[in-house]
């Protein structure tokens, strides 16, 4: 039971942050594609902007790892 709850907590930490990242990337990506269509030279910066929200899911991964390592024994 306890192990299951730990796994659930770790999964939620990654899953919810991944959803947030996906939402943010969808909004930024759509805007970036519009910008690239008008100015193709912005492709590099667009990738950079799209990649920024990934930090959210990485932090979620860090929290999940801490949950597993600290609570999972």
Partner 1 sequence: MIRRLVHLQLLGAQEDLISTVESLQRLGCAEVVAAPHGAGFSAVEPRPTGTDPDAPEGLLARVQRLLDLAPVAPADPRSPRAPSATSAVSGAKAATGQTNATRLSARHSAQHVARLSEGVDLRAATEPDLALLELEVDVLLGSQAALAEERDRLAHYVEILGELEALVPELGTLSDAELGVLGLAMMALVLDDPAGMVVSLLDAQLRHQFGESYLLRSTGEGRSRGCLLVVPRDRLGEAESLVGSDQINQISVPDTYAHLSLHMTVVRMRGRLAAVEGELTASQTDLATVWLHALPSLHAAARALRVIGERDAAVSTAELTSRTFLLRCWTPAERRADMVRQLSDDGIEGVAVLDAPSIEVPGPPPVELSGRAAWAPYRKLVGFLSWPSPGSLDPSVLLALALPFLFGVMVGDVVYGAALLGLGWWLRRRATGSPSGPGVLDDAGRVLMAGGAWAVIWGVLFGEALGSLGNTLGMPALWFYRGGPAALEPLLLFALALGWSHIVLGLSLGLYTALRRGDRHRVLEVGGTLVALVSLTGLVAAVMWGAPTWVVLTTALTALAGLVTTSSVHGPLGALLGPLELIGTVGNVLSYLRIAAVGLASVYLANVANELATELPLLIGLLVATFLHLLNLALAAFSPMVQALRLHYVEFFSKFHDGEGRAFRPLGAYGAPKPDPVQPVDNPSPGIPLRVRTADATLER
* Minimal distance, residue 34 CB to partner 1, in Å: 19
Tokens of 18: 């991944």
| Contact status: 59 vs partner 1 (CB under 8 A) | yes
18 binds partner 1 (CB under 8 A): no
Residues binding partner 1: number (CB under 8 A): 16
CB of 59 to partner 1, least distance (A): 7
Question: Does 69 contact partner 1 by CB under 8 A?
Answer: yes
């Amino acid at each position: 039971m306890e192990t299951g709850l730990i796994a659930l907590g770790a999964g939620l930490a990654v899953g919810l942050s991944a959803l947030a990242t996906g939402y943010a990337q969808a909004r930024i990506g759509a805007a970036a594609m519009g910008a690239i269509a008008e100015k193709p030279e912005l492709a590099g910066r667009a990738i950079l902007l799209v990649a920024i929200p990934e930090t959210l899911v990485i932090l979620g991964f860090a929290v999940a790892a801490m949950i597993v390592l600290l609570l999972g024994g």
